[in-house]
């Protein structure tokens, strides 16, 4: 089976469209006005006009005005049919209407959300923990030619290589091309690999050990499949909008939960020698308008986030990732404060590389790069997949253009050297020079075909050289080391029991032995989500909701090696001699024509779901982001029918929900027949086994909600609503709610949720006592002074001779493949208009100093201990959650606003019946601080007390102490 048709609809925004008989992305329907078919027609001196909006401030838009957009349209009109002309006319009218002035809006800079310039890019190699890797990298980079350096920083193009992302090698120095592969829950497009539970399920476990071991198994599979860079984990989106299409790839709607889970996942992945990629940096909270042209608009949405919110919320988990030593950061599609994230110098240079001390390399999301030299100057180190502004054209913004930029002086050689060194140092840091673990031959599977034989570069019509591309190596482990074991544990502990009126756990033997029943217990299983449907892999990238839901859709999804369905597992788990089980895997069972199928049941188990995914494809009328927070496919109607009719109104109904996020339950949860409700999230391949273990009491439920379940979408506040329609030609999204998302918003507004963040029931009970807060270090307002770090590598930054980059004689080029070579040594030289603010000397942030920021931020300033006792009759696990409250903190002439409670740590502990344990926490300076926008540093309140609250959810805080 050829995966190229599937891939043509995949990876960050591809849709079907046909142009002159070729399959092309729909968003490429307007030809690239910035590039011709000949690379020689574009000189790197044009490095700022690849995309006018890539400047650090919006006056660039005013300078270009509507002329570029109209020119683009005129050229498109000249090439297109009358039919296409009509379509474009409609689009123009659409833009004009929604923008309240259409193209005239391009002449006006948005009032809010400006991103200041921050240049030049801080050099990598300042952290002692990376010293040896940077020394090795420097020795290698010093020997590289200009084309080799460009090869390492530029992707070879879409479908130009076996992985979804591939870089060229530096052959003469022995550095291989790197293979980059999705994704956050398994290896996309791979055979014989595990489909792990999704991130949201991992977050629902609140189990640090499982977070680490899942990451380690994931990293091992990537290594055994020949991958260098894994495109995960995901901590952005954070979950600001509960209907966000990709929330399920992350770990929950709180920065601390995301940060801890992300850091432990990274630790596991990178212990296997795989470069982990934390993504998407930062503010990609919805799928609508996330990137240029995908929704008919020429520019992506701008997420306008204030400084404090960026640090305390959306940037927080990325800081944890950098502290954990993550070697790659992926910048996101959308703009941040009206500068594209992959060209935002304040974000990449100022925050990530200076303040957070990031030592690895920044890679673009696939086609998130919107400029050439400007993005390099802003801190981008690697362009993925290398194509430039349009999919599959082979017209890169880097590649030969980057070679020209260096040769003509528009890109300092020092910046290119730093880009290359960061990549090579990451390779050494993860031990990928160890030939016993990495043979340098690249992937042993193809992302583009399931056949054994195929071509390496299917994106090029010139590549007809058939080779073995799939070796079908099984990397799932076996026996006690099988990765299905960790997958099952995560899926099981990721199930959250939110309602139980004594019906659970069920017995596999049916009726309790103490009760006298003449016939066996009858259990009816209802809902399409209980069964296999047409199989988990019937739709590309899991882009349809049918059968039981194991994951969302998009580039974060994987091929399932198998999927244990709930019905299959329950049929196998019940004692067939004592329990009669029937299954109706449909959301529309024949209740009217055959009422006995409902009336004759003693227990009814209903399986329903809600799906979403990446915005490049639609399923069941949903384009990425969910349309609402309701159960889909009339699952709510099914629940009501079953709950009212089960056992002719005398039976008990159990509702199991597989979902990408919270769902509204108000239409059915209080029906008397609904005795239990479980949020089973997205469980991966072991779905049925996990739910059977919980329902039958083989495992005591211990999952906790990683988000709040409200009673309506309105309960989450105006900032939680997806922006389904553009409010400008450049859609603007102001994060005006600041720190108040999810449970923080519910607390502030005094809104009673249906089930709060951190909530989850057990089959046992726990008692909390003896909270002790012990200061370790005295309070002080600011962290210790920044330390300078070690000296980074230094190079001879002389511009090389142009002949070094010439296309070698007799070299056979593949069409659409991105090469570093130029075709002429006639290079036009400067002067060049560097970005505004480029000459300003930046003062290093006092919040910085090493990986993760100022080392003092990570020192422990207080310890907290609490006694937990299992007061029930069965063994169980409890998630002990620690929240902080800041009251009456004074800032510059005014009181600082704080949420009522913010999560700062958690521990999960297992206790036998009657057992008591002491659970301990450390609180760091960062935990006890807030971001001061005036002092531009983390500030610890020194007057008064910081309230410390410990409990079993954000609303069930049982004990209080002070520091």
Hey, which residues does 170 pair with through a beta bridge?
A: 175
Tell me, rounded to whole angstroms, the distance of Cα 568 from its chain centroid. 31
End-to-end Cα separation, the chain, in angstroms: 62
As a whole number of angstroms, the distance between CA 709 and CA 704 comes to 12
Instruction: Express each pLDDT in 148-199 by its tens digit.
Output: 999 999 999 999 999 999 999 999 999 999 999 999 999 999 999 999 999 9
Reply yes or no on whether the pLDDT at 26 is more than 50: no
Using a 10 angstrom Cβ sphere, with 0-12 exposed, 13-18 middle and 19 or more buried, the burial of residue 197 is buried
Tell me, rounded to whole angstroms, the distance of Cα 672 from its chain centroid. 39
| Higher pLDDT, residue 106 or 239 | 239
Structure tokens at 178: 């790197």
As a whole number of angstroms, the distance between CA 326 and CA 279 comes to 11
Q: What integer pLDDT is reported at residue 478 of this predicted model?
A: 97
Predicted confidence band of residue 11 (pLDDT cuts 50, 70, 90) = very low
Strands (E), 91-135: none
Question: Stretch 754-772: mean pLDDT, rounded?
Answer: 98
Using DSSP's 3-state secondary structure scheme, residue 128 falls into helix
Looking at 39-43, 462-466, 473-477, 743-747, which range is the least confident one? 39-43
Hey, which residues does 175 pair with through a beta bridge?
A: 170
As a whole number of angstroms, the distance between CA 216 and CA 202 comes to 14
Reply yes or no on whether the pLDDT at 270 is more than 70: yes
Question: Stretch 482-501: mean pLDDT, rounded?
Answer: 98
Reply yes or no on whether the pLDDT at 959 is more than 70: yes
Q: What integer pLDDT is reported at residue 437 of this predicted model?
A: 93
Query: Residue 702 — left, alpha, or beta (φ > 0 → left; ψ -120 to 50 → alpha)?
Result: alpha
Using a 10 angstrom Cβ sphere, with 0-12 exposed, 13-18 middle and 19 or more buried, the burial of residue 417 is buried
- Which one, of 231, 234, 168, 225, lies nearest residue 203 by Cα? 234
Instruction: Express each pLDDT in 32-70 by its tens digit.
Output: 222 222 222 223 323 333 333 333 433 222 222 233 333
Query: Considering only the top CATH level, what class is 495-699?
Result: alpha beta
The model carries a pTM of 0.91
Reply yes or no on whether the pLDDT at 79 is more than 70: no
Hey, which residues does 364 pair with through a beta bridge?
A: 331
Length reported for the chain: 963
| Higher pLDDT, residue 564 or 96 | 564
Instruction: Express each pLDDT in 287-312 by its tens digit.
Output: 999 999 888 899 999 999 999 999 99
Instruction: Express each pLDDT in 777-811 by its tens digit.
Output: 999 999 999 999 999 999 999 999 999 999 999 99
Mean pLDDT score of the chain, rounded to an integer? 90
Structure tokens at 745: 């918003």
Looking at 18-27, 50-59, 696-705, 813-822, which range is the least confident one? 18-27
- Which one, of 165, 167, 274, lies nearest residue 215 by Cα? 274
Structure tokens at 848: 């910085």
Percent over 70 (pLDDT), the chain: 88
Phi, psi of 898 (to 5 degrees): -135, 145
Marked catalytic residue, from 191, 254, 320, 365: 365
Predicted confidence band of residue 515 (pLDDT cuts 50, 70, 90) = confident
Q: What integer pLDDT is reported at residue 639 of this predicted model?
A: 98
Phi, psi of 932 (to 5 degrees): -95, 115
As a whole number of angstroms, the distance between CA 752 and CA 756 comes to 8
Q: What integer pLDDT is reported at residue 40 of this predicted model?
A: 29
Using DSSP's 3-state secondary structure scheme, residue 592 falls into coil
Structure tokens at 577: 């001699």
Distances (CA, A) of 75 to 85, 363, 729: 11, 32, 20
* Fold match, 128-442+789-805 / 766-781+849-962: no
As a whole number of angstroms, the distance between CA 233 and CA 263 comes to 9
- Which one, of 611, 654, 346, lies nearest residue 525 by Cα? 654
Q: What integer pLDDT is reported at residue 46 of this predicted model?
A: 33
Q: Are 679 and 711 in contact (CB under 8 A)?
A: no
Q: What integer pLDDT is reported at residue 618 of this predicted model?
A: 93
Residue the block writes with tokens 């996020």: 661
Catalytic site residue 365? yes
CATH 2.60.40.10 fits 766-781+849-962, yes or no: yes
Predicted confidence band of residue 2 (pLDDT cuts 50, 70, 90) = low
Using DSSP's 3-state secondary structure scheme, residue 930 falls into strand
Q: What integer pLDDT is reported at residue 3 of this predicted model?
A: 60
Reply yes or no on whether the pLDDT at 614 is more than 90: yes
Q: What integer pLDDT is reported at residue 31 of this predicted model?
A: 25
Predicted confidence band of residue 914 (pLDDT cuts 50, 70, 90) = very high
Reply yes or no on whether the pLDDT at 317 is more than 90: yes
Give the 3-state DSSP-derived string for 164-187, with helices as H, strands as E and coil as C.
Answer: CEEECCEHHHCECCCEEEECCCCC
**Cα angle: 627, vertex 205, 885; to 5 degrees:** 85
Residue the block writes with tokens 């599937």: 6
As a whole number of angstroms, the distance between CA 705 and CA 252 comes to 8
Reply yes or no on whether the pLDDT at 75 is more than 50: no
As a whole number of angstroms, the distance between CA 17 and CA 391 comes to 12
Structure tokens at 603: 């227990």
Question: Stretch 471-500: mean pLDDT, rounded?
Answer: 98
* Domain positions in the chain: 128-442+789-805, 495-699, 766-781+849-962
Question: Stretch 626-644: mean pLDDT, rounded?
Answer: 98
Q: What integer pLDDT is reported at residue 329 of this predicted model?
A: 99
Question: Stretch 730-747: mean pLDDT, rounded?
Answer: 98
Respond yes or no on whether the N-terminal peptide bond of residue 385 is cis (omega within 30° of 0): yes
Residue 722 has, within 13 A of its CA and on its CB side, a CA count of 23
Structure tokens at 216: 């380690």
843: Cβ–Cβ under 8 A, 6 or more apart, which residues? none
Q: Which CATH superfamily is domain 128-442+789-805 in?
A: Glycoside hydrolase, family 3, N-terminal domain (3.20.20.300)
Using DSSP's 3-state secondary structure scheme, residue 293 falls into coil
Question: Stretch 216-235: mean pLDDT, rounded?
Answer: 98
Using DSSP's 3-state secondary structure scheme, residue 496 falls into strand
Q: Are 195 and 563 in contact (CB under 8 A)?
A: yes
As a whole number of angstroms, the distance between CA 269 and CA 607 comes to 33
Q: What integer pLDDT is reported at residue 839 of this predicted model?
A: 87
Using DSSP's 3-state secondary structure scheme, residue 366 falls into coil
Q: What integer pLDDT is reported at residue 267 of this predicted model?
A: 98
Q: What integer pLDDT is reported at residue 4 of this predicted model?
A: 52
613: Cβ–Cβ under 8 A, 6 or more apart, which residues? 245, 246, 541, 542, 543, 552, 553, 554, 556, 557, 619, 624, 660
**Cα angle: 774, vertex 881, 266; to 5 degrees:** 100
| Higher pLDDT, residue 75 or 817 | 817
Q: What integer pLDDT is reported at residue 5 of this predicted model?
A: 54
- Which one, of 416, 363, 369, lies nearest residue 396 by Cα? 369
As a whole number of angstroms, the distance between CA 30 and CA 785 comes to 52
Predicted confidence band of residue 832 (pLDDT cuts 50, 70, 90) = confident
Q: Are 302 and 731 in contact (CB under 8 A)?
A: yes
As a whole number of angstroms, the distance between CA 588 and CA 640 comes to 12
């Amino acid at each position: 089976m050829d995966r190229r048709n599937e891939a043509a609809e995949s990876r960050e925004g591809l849709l079907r469209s046909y142009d002159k008989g070729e399959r092309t992305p729909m968003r490429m329907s307007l030809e690239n006005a910035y590039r011709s078919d000949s690379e020689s027609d574009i000189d790197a001196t044009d490095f700022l006009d690849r995309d006018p909006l890539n400047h650090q401030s919006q006056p660039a838009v005013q300078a270009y005005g509507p002329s570029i957009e109209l020119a683009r349209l005129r050229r498109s009109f000249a090439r297109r049919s009358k039919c296409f002309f009509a379509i474009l006319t409609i689009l123009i009218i659409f833009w004009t209407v929604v923008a309240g002035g259409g193209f005239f809006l391009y002449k006006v800079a948005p009032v809010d959300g400006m991103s200041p310039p921050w240049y030049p890019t801080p050099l990598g190699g300042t952290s002692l923990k990376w010293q040896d890797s940077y020394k090795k990298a420097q020795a290698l980079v010093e020997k590289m030619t200009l084309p080799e350096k460009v090869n390492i920083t530029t992707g070879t193009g879409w479908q130009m290589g076996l992985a979804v992302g591939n870089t060229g090698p530096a052959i003469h120095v022995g550095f291989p091309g790197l293979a980059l592969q999705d994704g956050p829950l398994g290896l996309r497009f791979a055979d014989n690999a595990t489909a792990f539970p999704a991130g949201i399920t991992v977050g629902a476990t609140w189990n640090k050990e499982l977070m680490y071991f899942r990451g380690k198994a994931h990293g091992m599979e990537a290594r055994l499949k020949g991958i260098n860079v894994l495109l995960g984990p995901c901590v952005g989106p954070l979950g600001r909008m509960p209907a966000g299409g990709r929330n399920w790839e992350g770990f929950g709607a709180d920065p601390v939960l995301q940060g801890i889970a992300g850091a432990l996942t990274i630790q596991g992945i990178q212990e296997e020698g795989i470069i982990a990629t934390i993504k998407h940096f930062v503010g990609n909270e919805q799928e609508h308008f996330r990137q240029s042209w995908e929704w008919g608009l020429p520019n992506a949405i701008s997420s306008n986030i204030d400084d404090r919110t960026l640090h305390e919320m959306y940037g927080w988990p990325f800081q944890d990732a950098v502290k954990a030593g993550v070697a790659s950061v992926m910048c996101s599609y959308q703009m941040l404060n009206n500068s594209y994230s992959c060209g935002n110098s304040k974000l990449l240079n100022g925050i990530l590389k200076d303040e957070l001390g990031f030592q690895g390399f920044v890679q673009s999301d696939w086609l998130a790069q919107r400029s050439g030299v400007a993005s390099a100057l802003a801190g981008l180190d690697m362009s993925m997949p290398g194509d430039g502004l349009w999919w599959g054209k082979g017209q890169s913004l880097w590649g030969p253009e980057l070679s020209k930029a260096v040769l003509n002086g528009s890109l300092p050689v020092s910046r290119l050297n730093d880009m290359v060194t960061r990549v090579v140092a990451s390779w050494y840091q993860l031990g990928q020079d160890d030939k016993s673990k990495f043979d340098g031959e690249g992937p042993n599977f193809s992302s583009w075909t399931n056949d054994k034989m195929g071509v390496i570069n299917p994106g090029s019509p010139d590549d007809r050289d058939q080779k073995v591309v799939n070796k079908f190596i099984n990397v799932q482990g076996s026996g006690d080391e099988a990765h299905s074991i960790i997958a099952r544990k995560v899926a099981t502990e990721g199930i959250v029991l939110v309602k139980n009126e004594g019906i659970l756990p069920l017995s596999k033997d049916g009726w309790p032995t103490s009760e006298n029943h003449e016939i066996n217990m009858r259990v009816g299983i209802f809902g399409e989500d209980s069964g296999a449907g047409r199989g988990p892999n019937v739709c590309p990238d899991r882009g349809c909701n049918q059968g039981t839901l194991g994951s969302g859709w998009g580039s974060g999804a994987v091929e399932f090696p198998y999927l244990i369905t709930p019905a299959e597992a329950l049929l196998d788990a019940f004692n067939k001699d004592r329990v009669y089980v029937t299954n109706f895997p449909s959301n529309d069972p024949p209740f009217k024509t055959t009422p006995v199928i409902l009336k004759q049941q003693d227990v009814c188990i209903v399986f329903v779901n809600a799906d979403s995914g990446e915005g490049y494809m639609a399923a069941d009328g949903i384009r990425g982001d969910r349309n609402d927070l309701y159960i889909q496919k009339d699952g709510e109607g099914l629940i009501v029918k079953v709950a009212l009719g089960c056992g002719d109104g005398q039976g008990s109904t159990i509702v199991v929900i597989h979902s990408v996020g919270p769902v509204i339950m108000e239409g059915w949860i209080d029906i008397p027949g609904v005795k239990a409700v479980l949020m089973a999230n997205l469980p991966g391949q072991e779905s049925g086994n996990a739910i059977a273990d919980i329902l039958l009491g083989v495992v005591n439920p211990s999952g906790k909600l990683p988000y709040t379940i409200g009673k309506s979408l309105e309960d989450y506040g105006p900032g939680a609503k997806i922006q389904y329609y553009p409010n400008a030609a450049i859609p603007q999204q102001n994060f005006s709610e600041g720190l108040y998302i999810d449970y923080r918003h519910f607390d502030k507004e005094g809104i009673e949720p249906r089930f709060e963040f951190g909530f989850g029931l057990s089959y046992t009970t726990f008692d909390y006592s003896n909270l002790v807060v012990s200061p370790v270090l005295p309070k002080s307002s600011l962290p210790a002074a920044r330390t300078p770090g070690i000296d980074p590598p230094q190079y001879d930054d002389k511009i090389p001779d142009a002949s070094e980059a010439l296309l070698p004689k007799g070299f056979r080029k593949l069409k659409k493949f991105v090469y570093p070579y130029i075709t002429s040594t006639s290079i036009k030289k400067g002067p060049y208009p560097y970005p505004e603010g480029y000459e300003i000397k930046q003062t290093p942030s006092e919040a910085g100093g090493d990986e993760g920021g100022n080392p003092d931020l990570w020192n422990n300033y207080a310890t907290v201990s609490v006694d937990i006792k299992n007061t029930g009759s069965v063994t169980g696990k409890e998630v002990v959650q620690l929240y902080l409250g800041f009251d009456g903190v004074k800032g510059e002439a005014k009181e600082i606003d704080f949420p009522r409670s913010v999560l700062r740590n958690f521990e999960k502990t297992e206790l036998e019946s009657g057992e008591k344990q002491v659970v301990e926490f450390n609180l760091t300076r960062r935990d006890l601080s807030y971001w001061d926008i005036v002092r531009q540093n983390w500030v610890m309140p020194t007057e008064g007390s910081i309230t410390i609250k410990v409990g079993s959810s954000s609303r069930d805080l049982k004990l209080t102490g002070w520091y």
